């Protein structure tokens, strides 16, 4: 990040400045573009409208040149009008109730209230669902449109329709009307109070209401331990043993740096860290620093070198163990896979096993999140980061919320502002609001090399100027995908079963990207399916396996623990002395980096 460039921009804008060489003049022009784009991004929630316009242009031009598709969508429109007319006709002879002509998708919970089955609300609901179906027909299946542009147009048409859903309007929502009559309008008063409170917190940069009741080190991230190593990027936490004997191989957890580490150490009842410690493991966890503009030049390889590798060196010095179980969650799993590939290439055999939770290594099909990653979008984000030095996770909040706008945006608006109900804060919700920043260089490299170019799978990703290959990894792998993951879709995660030339156990668990991983024993409604493959076995296709796999009810944690035990050695006496080998304990867990804002 060049501060002098902004001064040159000022000169280019009309202030007196000396003549510049051609190269520096070109840099000034580029700096003007960067500032302009960064300002523009402030009004678009960090989303590139140019990328969207290109998609709509592609769709519209091909539609205009396809009379057959035009006739098809016209016929579909007539059919849907006929279906709605038939529904209204049947309602007229059934006292306002009739069997619906179309039902909401299983994940659509907007119309669950019984009032939507009565006239006229059922008519409004049916009209909306038929319109939604027609737009899906119109935006998909058009020959000539690129696959990505088709998905973009379909995705954004769905977002637009979600904004005009009848459930969002008080006069059209029978649940809101019923609540208003029963509460004499008090729901709107409560909703207005909720809205004002949220706006004030947003203006002051405060977390959502109730998040203050989940403080790291007290209510969450409370598993006892101490920071034994610190550098400019990480704090390494060693958790105190809770058993008399422990496995000789310690566990290193590498969380994602896009959020705070304690997703795996929430409340004591659902802490994966505590579960491991109570099961007889010595557990270490990386707590990433929340970087500021001074860390703008930190690279993706710095995260590997100063993060994963530095932590493994510290663990070896502390415990004397030559083998470590590596556990990576989300982006941390991707980074751990890169580190493991480099270690395998260089003959470093310290990894006893590799566990990857909701972590992608192949980004060819990254799901709907990939809709926000193209050259236009990345360039816009890079220009924002050039100005600020980092990318604040809140800059991407708009994109993440759009992935599940029904649940994260519109349903919340109806519940909290129209019905006047404030959803109780949970530890997971409070963690999700504890956002972080990402260094500009690292984020640019990550998006370009992995998401955009898929260099890791295609053999172009280099560590220390030499390419790494996932198939070099020989450590056994345990991978977890979650059924409703919008960040790392399970079919994309499943691809690692084809890429690792080693023994692999793959688990598909119910839940989403976060809730599916935080799935402690006793959690209601949890289930999972499991695939075990030896390195020479033929791997099935994802859909065929998922269709035929046996469903086990309950948490997947015990299955993973059993797998971890099989790949561990003997037990040794737990070290309760607090000694840290050649390292000196710095402070108590959860450390200081997790508290940085």
Question: Which residues are part of the catalytic machinery?
Answer: 330
Give the span between the Cα atoms of 409 and 147, in whole angstroms: 27
Q: Are 130 and 104 in contact (CB under 8 A)?
A: no
At residue 286, φ and ψ (nearest 5 deg) are -80, 130
Give the span between the Cα atoms of 512 and 526, in whole angstroms: 11
Give the span between the Cα atoms of 588 and 211, in whole angstroms: 22
Q: Are 264 and 271 in contact (CB under 8 A)?
A: yes
Q: Where are the alpha helices (DSSP H) in 423-571?
A: 427-432, 440-445, 490-494, 496-499, 542-548, 557-566
Report residue 126 CA to chain centroid gap.
33
Give the span between the Cα atoms of 108 and 192, in whole angstroms: 26
Give the span between the Cα atoms of 205 and 185, in whole angstroms: 31
At residue 53, φ and ψ (nearest 5 deg) are -65, -35
Neighbour tally for 192: CB within 10 Å:
12
Q: With the C-alpha atoms ordered 399, 403, 404, 409, is the resulting torsion angle positive or negative?
A: positive
Neighbour tally for 133: CB within 10 Å:
15
Length in residues, the chain? 597
Which residue, among 38, 13, 583, 1, has the nearest Cα to 320 in the 3D structure? 583
Q: Are 486 and 370 in contact (CB under 8 A)?
A: no
Largest CA distance in the chain: 84
Q: Are 256 and 303 in contact (CB under 8 A)?
A: no
């Amino acid at each position: 990040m060049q501060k002098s460039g902004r001064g040159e921009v000022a000169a280019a804008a009309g202030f007196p400045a000396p003549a510049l060489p051609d190269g520096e003049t070109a840099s000034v022009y580029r700096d003007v573009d960067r500032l302009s784009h960064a300002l523009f991004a402030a009004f678009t929630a960090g989303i590139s409208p140019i990328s969207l316009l290109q998609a709509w242009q592609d769709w519209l031009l091909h539609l205009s040149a396809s009379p057959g598709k035009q006739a098809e969508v016209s016929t579909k429109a007539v059919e849907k009008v006929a279906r709605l007319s038939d529904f209204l006709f049947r309602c007229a002879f059934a006292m306002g109730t009739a069997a619906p002509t179309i039902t909401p998708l299983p994940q659509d919970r907007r119309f669950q209230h019984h009032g939507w089955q009565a006239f006229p609300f059922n008519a409004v609901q049916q009209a909306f669902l038929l319109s939604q179906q027609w737009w899906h027909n119109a935006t998909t299946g058009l020959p000539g449109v690129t696959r990505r542009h088709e998905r973009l147009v379909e995705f954004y048409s769905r977002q637009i329709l979600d904004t005009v859903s009848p459930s969002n309007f008080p006069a059209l929502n029978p649940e809101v009307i019923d609540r208003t009559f029963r509460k004499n309008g008090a729901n709107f008063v409560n909703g207005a109070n909720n809205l004002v409170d949220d706006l004030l917190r947003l203006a002051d940069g405060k977390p959502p209401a109730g998040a203050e009741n989940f403080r790291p080190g007290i209510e969450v991230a409370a598993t006892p331990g101490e920071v034994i190593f610190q550098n400019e990027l990480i704090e390494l936490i060693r958790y105190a043993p809770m058993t008399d004997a422990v496995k000789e191989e310690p566990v290193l957890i590498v969380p994602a740096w896009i959020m705070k580490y304690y997703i795996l150490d929430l409340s004591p009842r659902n802490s994966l860290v505590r579960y491991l410690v109570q099961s007889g493991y010595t557990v270490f966890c990386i707590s990433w620093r929340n970087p500021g503009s001074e860390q703008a030049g930190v690279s993706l390889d710095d995260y590997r070198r100063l993060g994963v590798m530095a932590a493994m060196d510290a663990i070896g010095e502390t415990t004397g163990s030559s083998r470590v179980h590596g556990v990576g969650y989300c982006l941390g799993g991707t980074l751990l896979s890169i580190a493991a590939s480099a270690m395998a290439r260089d003959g470093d055999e310290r990894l006893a096993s590799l566990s990857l939770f909701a972590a992608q290594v192949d980004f060819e099909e990254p799901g709907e999140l990939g809709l926000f990653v193209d050259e236009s979008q990345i360039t816009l984000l890079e220009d924002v980061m050039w100005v600020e030095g980092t990318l604040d996770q809140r800059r991407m909040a708009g994109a993440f919320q759009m992935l599940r706008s029904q649940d994260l945006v519109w349903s919340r608006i109806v519940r909290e502002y129209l019905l006047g109900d404030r959803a109780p804060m949970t530890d997971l919700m409070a963690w999700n609001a504890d956002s972080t920043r990402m260094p500009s260089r690292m984020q640019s490299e990550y998006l370009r090399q992995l998401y955009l170019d898929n260099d890791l799978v295609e053999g172009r990703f280099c560590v220390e100027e030499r390419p790494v290959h996932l198939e070099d990894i020989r450590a056994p792998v345990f991978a977890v995908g979650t059924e409703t993951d919008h960040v790392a879709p399970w079919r994309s995660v499943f691809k690692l079963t084809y890429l690792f030339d080693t023994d692999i156990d793959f688990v598909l668990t119910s839940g989403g990207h976060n809730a599916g991983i935080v799935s402690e024993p006793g959690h209601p409604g949890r289930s999972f399916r499991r695939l075990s493959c030896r390195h020479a076995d033929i791997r099935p296709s994802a859909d065929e396996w998922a269709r035929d796999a046996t469903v086990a009810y309950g948490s997947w944690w015990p299955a993973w623990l059993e797998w971890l035990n099989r790949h561990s050695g003997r037990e040794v006496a737990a070290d309760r002395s607090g000694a840290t080998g050649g390292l000196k304990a710095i402070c108590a867990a959860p450390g200081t980096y997790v508290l940085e804002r």
